[in-house]
């Protein structure tokens, strides 16, 4: 009986990330393998982040999860894939103080409870799933004493939500699309850390906290199936643009950074519009968005060099 009483807990906090070269389109829906590389900037965890506590106890008879205080199902393939992959990498855990001893092989039978909170609107275009899955995978890895580094963990988080792989590092992060069929080389690498360009300020304007009408998953699928511009973007435009963006970031060249980020965001929305049925991520709140975009353009044009750039998500401008 006594051994049933203990609970081992790990809490982690993971910031969301904002893509400056956009991920849009999967070449493999199950493994979540993208059609192009993407680059993002990771936000300060003190601002937009997910806090996740994972717990294991002999008293738990099933895996359970609560998101923002409300229990949600873990039966979905994405959660199951992450749990399976982490369990497969679990190692012996020993906590003499609490008299806890879990052998590597025991993890298959142990159940976990997960409590996750976002301190920002969920599914409103602020990459809540990115922060969420990154945090879940990282916390489970610590709980189960997995030895993998953050890039290896990013390939697991990727299977929960593609952009989640970019939230395992701070600073500027690149998600290499990879070539391998099993997705083993489709993972995130840190380009520069958060100190490299610390004078860069990120402003997030939430124009609507309503949930998106088209989920990214459905939208991407429709775009891959119907847009005649997506493949050209993925194969011809993004590879060059990614190299230019890496240079701009390394050189802290805001002029190029701003031009590339704006152009890529506009192209992402262009591909959405070229999708059948068209996806209007920017239209339904456009009165407010277009006003902001116009102000930013007037400001930039009035100065010698760009002062600010925009990369609108579905409902938020960053």
Q: What are the residues whose beta carbons fall under 8 Å from the beta carbon of 101, sequence distance 6 or more?
A: 93, 94, 95
Q: Does 229 bind a copy of itself (CB under 8 A)?
A: yes
- Binding-site string for a copy of itself from residue 234 to residue 273, where x marks contact by CB under 8 A and - marks none: --xx---------------------x--xx--xx-xxx-x
Q: What angle do CA 209, 210, 214 make, to 5 degrees?
A: 125
Q: Does 69 bind a copy of itself (CB under 8 A)?
A: no
Half-sphere exposure (CA, 13 Å, Cβ side) for 75?
Answer: 1
* 86-115 positions binding a copy of itself, by CB under 8 A: none
The answer to whether 317 and 287 are in contact (CB under 8 A) is no
Q: E strand or H helix at 13, and its extent?
A: strand 8-15
Nearer to a copy of itself, 158 or 241 (CB): 241
Nearer to a copy of itself, 162 or 312 (CB): 312
Q: Stretches 12-20, 86-94, 141-149, 232-240: which one binds a copy of itself (CB under 8 A)?
A: 232-240
Q: Angle 128-143/150-157 helices, nearest 10 degrees?
A: 120
Nearer to a copy of itself, 106 or 231 (CB): 231
Q: Does 286 bind a copy of itself (CB under 8 A)?
A: yes
Q: Is-cis flag, bond preceding 277, omega within 30?
A: yes
Of positions 63, 152, 246, 284, contacts a copy of itself by CB under 8 A = 284
Of positions 47, 104, 232, 252, contacts a copy of itself by CB under 8 A = 232
**304: three-class secondary structure by DSSP:** coil
Nearer to a copy of itself, 191 or 271 (CB): 271
Q: Stretches 22-30, 97-105, 161-169, 276-284: which one binds a copy of itself (CB under 8 A)?
A: 276-284
Residue 132: CB atoms within 10 Å? 25
| Closest CB 23 distance from a copy of itself, rounded Å | 17
Nearer to a copy of itself, 105 or 240 (CB): 240
The answer to whether 17 and 38 are in contact (CB under 8 A) is no
Rounded-to-integer distance, Cα 301 and Cα 75, Å: 51
Indicate the Cα dihedral angle 52, 87, 16, 262, nearest 10°. Answer: -170
- Residues at the interface with a copy of itself (CB under 8 A): 226, 228-229, 232-233, 236-237, 259, 262-263, 266-267, 269-271, 273-278, 280, 282-284, 286-287, 289-290, 293, 297
């Amino acid at each position: 009986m006594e051994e049933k009483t203990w609970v081992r807990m790990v809490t982690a906090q993971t910031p969301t990330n904002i893509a400056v070269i956009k991920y849009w389109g999967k070449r493999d829906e199950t493994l979540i393998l993208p059609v192009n590389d993407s680059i993002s900037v990771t936000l300060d965890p003190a601002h937009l982040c997910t806090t996740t506590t994972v717990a294991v106890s002999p008293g738990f008879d099933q895996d359970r999860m609560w998101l923002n205080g409300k229990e949600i199902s873990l039966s979905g393939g994405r959660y199951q894939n992450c749990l399976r992959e982490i369990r497969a990498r679990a190692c012996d855990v020993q906590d003499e103080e609490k008299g806890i001893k879990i052998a590597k092989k025991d993890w298959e039978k142990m159940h976990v409870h997960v409590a996750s909170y976002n301190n920002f609107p969920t599914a409103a275009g602020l990459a809540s799933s990115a922060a969420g899955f990154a945090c879940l995978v990282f916390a489970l890895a610590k709980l189960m004493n997995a030895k993998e580094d953050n890039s290896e963990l990013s390939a697991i988080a990727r299977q929960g939500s593609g952009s989640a792989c970019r939230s395992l590092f701070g600073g500027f992060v690149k998600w290499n699309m990879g070539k391998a069929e099993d997705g083993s080389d489709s993972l995130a690498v840190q380009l520069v850390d958060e100190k490299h360009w610390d004078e860069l300020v990120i402003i997030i304007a939430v124009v609507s906290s309503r949930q998106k009408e088209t989920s990214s998953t459905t939208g991407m699928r429709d775009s891959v199936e119907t847009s005649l511009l997506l493949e050209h973007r993925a194969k011809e435009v993004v590879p060059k643009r990614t190299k230019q963006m890496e240079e701009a970031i390394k050189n802290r060249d805001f002029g190029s950074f701003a031009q590339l980020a704006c152009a890529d965001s506009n192209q992402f929305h262009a591909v959405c519009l070229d999708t059948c049925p068209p996806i209007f991520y920017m239209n339904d709140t456009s009165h407010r968005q277009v006003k902001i975009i116009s102000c930013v353009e007037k400001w930039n044009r009035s100065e010698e060099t760009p002062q600010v750039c925009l990369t609108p998500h579905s409902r938020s401008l960053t």
